[in-house]
Amino acid sequence: MIRTNFNVTGENPFNHGRIQMIKTIQFTLNGKPVRIEVDSGRTLLWVLRTDLGLTGAKFGCGEGLCGACTVLLDDEAVPSCQLSVDYVAGREIKTIEGLTKNGQLHPIQRAFVKHDALQCGFCTPGMILKAYSLLLSNPKPTRDQIISEMDDNLCRCGAHVRIVQAIQTASKELKGGRP
Ligand code: FES
Ligand code: FES
């Protein structure tokens, strides 16, 4: 089915006027199967936020430059504002909402709380998921490696020092990057 998009609300303003292609897309979201009828060209970020009600991933720049929209795609941190929902068909997406287990915060979340590694919190979901991906691939990073790997995730509140400390603490608690 092809439709012209004239009435997208609350979405990326740059999407107005493009052609819609409605498809059925299935993927795994926070461990559960998802099947949705959706314009396959929409970004994963807006499908998560507006169709699936998961607002942890934030819209910052919309250009792949700030990391506020970071989610995990097969455990790799990716900017969801830059991926069409079509791209994730058949794959596994994890958002900040999926990180707690049985009501318990993930060790990275606990470390962020312990170090007060946030101020407004807008960047925090993306920071935590980027750290998750980093610690899976490099469970014992040096401080310089953490700074380098987290470079694409921006914090306008300037919590960087405490964010790095939180990741160092989490790396001590995690075994091979996993709880
Ligand atoms: S909103 Fe996606 S990188 Fe900034
Ligand atoms: S805590 Fe406000 S942008 Fe990072």
pLDDT tens digits for 4-48? 333 333 455 555 566 788 999 999 999 999 999 999 989 999 999
Q: Which residues line ligand 2 (CB under 6 A)?
A: 118-124, 155-157, 159
CATH 3.10.20.30 residue ranges of the chain are: 2-95
**31 Cα–ligand 2 center, Å:** 28
Q: Which atom of ligand 2 is nearest to the CA of 127?
A: 4
Query: Tell me: the pLDDT tens digits for 70-103?
Result: 999 999 999 999 999 999 999 999 999 999 999 9
Task: Return the structure tokens found at 30.
Answer: 């926070």
Please check the confidence at residue 147 and state whether its pLDDT lies above 70.
yes
Cβ burial 155-167 (10 Å sphere, 16+ → b, else e): beeebbebbbbbb
CA of 69 to the centre of ligand 1 (A): 5
Query: Per-residue confidence at 133, pLDDT binned at 50, 70, 90?
Result: very high
Rounded CA separation 179/80 (Å): 25
pLDDT single digits (tens) 38-48: 999 899 999 99
If one counts every other C-beta atom within 10 angstroms of the C-beta of residue 61, the result is 13
Instruction: Report whether 5 contacts 39 (CB < 8 A).
Output: yes
Say what the pLDDT of residue 11 is: 59
Residues carrying CATH 1.10.150.120, the chain: 107-174
> What is the pLDDT, as a whole number, of residue 15?
55
End-to-end CA distance of the chain: 45
- Say which CATH class 107-174 falls into: mainly alpha
Does ligand 1 lie within 6 Å of residue 155's CB atom? no
Ligand (nearest to CA of 83): 1
- CATH fold of 2-95 reads Ubiquitin-like (UB roll) (3.10.20)
Q: What percent of the chain has pLDDT over 90?
A: 84
